[in-house]
Amino acid sequence: MPKPVAALAVVCLLAAAAGAQAQTPPVPAPTVPPTKTVRLLATGGTIAGAGQGPGASYRAGVVPIGDILRAVPGLGDVANVTAEQIANVGSYDVDEAIWRKLLDRIQVALADPQVSGVIITHGTDTLEETAYFLSLATPSTKPVVVVGSMRPGTAVSADGPQNLLDAVRVATADDARNRGAMVVMNDTIFDPRSVTKFDVRRVNAFAAPSRGPIGDVLTERPRFFAQAEPHDAALPVKGDTLPRVAIAYGYAGVRAEDIRAAASGARALVIAGVGAGSLSAGARQAVKELTAAGIPVVRTARQGVGDIWYNPAATGDLSDDALGTIAGRELTPAKARILLMLALQTPRSRNDLQALFDRYGVAGP
């Protein structure tokens, strides 16, 4: 064979081999079984919601947890997730009975050496309240992550699958140990003491305006901004029923009888006061009557943002000493109610209650 022809043949063979190599599909990498197990407790909410189409109208708490898990791509590569349906309701229907059932199942899961962490799927309306309750009633050793969504699974660009995947990543992260209960929403990790829902529609509805978030989930590995603070259950649940605590809302023209009516039949009262937890003259008169009768009253801010600290005697009849009240610190009225419910399981003085609000009503060190 003449040399030019031989050379051409070699080139053709090399090209064919290269083409064949290019067309050969890559060998898939072997799947490594996840090494951690997460226990998921489902309660319903928008993350379990469904509508007739991709629009905004839907009903919360209708999709079973098994269907929700199957809608999250790659979840099984992150952790072994075992699930239990505790309830399937909109979180406007979450009550003490559901809290107690959750707490019982969480305690069982935390005692299991095979479980790395617990996740609770929850509606966003009262998500922050459940998370705060659990932060007080459970120890911090293993993470307890509360997660929800602002859009149902039937919506275009539903946020539930990503939020749930982020929650699993947080619950299995080594850095999440000793942090106790946390909220994960929209790539962000929050302390239950400081997080609150600020918008009724948008996916970035949750924020912590006084303190900011404690971490984020922008990659496969969650990032925390500060060291963990290990703790035991601050206020374990005792007995069959928690003390009833009511909330009164402050506004221009609120009268003494409005405060008395709100407190009727309650063991304690939280007032969502105007400004920095301020009360009208009529409200102050009713509050003095209540505290003189041994009913604890906590001042909070109706806007839910800011530190309501102790008013000193120099403020005269507005002072907490004059009113016999307790400063609610950074807690929203709803969270102040929860702290009081748990605290009043044991007889406590006003000074004792103030010390609890100074400790558990302020996020961070």
- Could you tell me where the beta strands, DSSP code E, fall in 60-171? 80-89, 115-121, 144-147
Measuring CA to CA, which residue among 50, 110, 120, 123 is closest to residue 85?
A: 120
CA distance 267 to 258: 17
CA distance 299 to 184: 29
SS3 323: helix
Q: Is 46 a catalytic residue?
A: yes
Secondary structure (DSSP) of 139-195: -SSS-EEEE--SS-TTSTT-SHHHHHHHHHHHHT-GGGTT--EEEEETTEEE-TTT-
CA distance 59 to 46: 8
b/e code 126-135 from CB counts within 10 Å (16+ = b): bbbbbbbbbb
CA distance 245 to 295: 10
CA distance 232 to 324: 30
The amino acid occupying position 313 is A
CA distance 296 to 326: 8
**3-state SS, one letter per residue, for 272-290:** EEECCCECCHHHHHHHHHH
Residue pair 341/310 in contact (Cβ under 8 Å)? The answer is no
Other C-beta atoms closer than 10 Å to the C-beta of 348 total: 15
The active-site residue, picked from 37, 43, 46, 291, is: 46
Residues with catalytic roles: 46
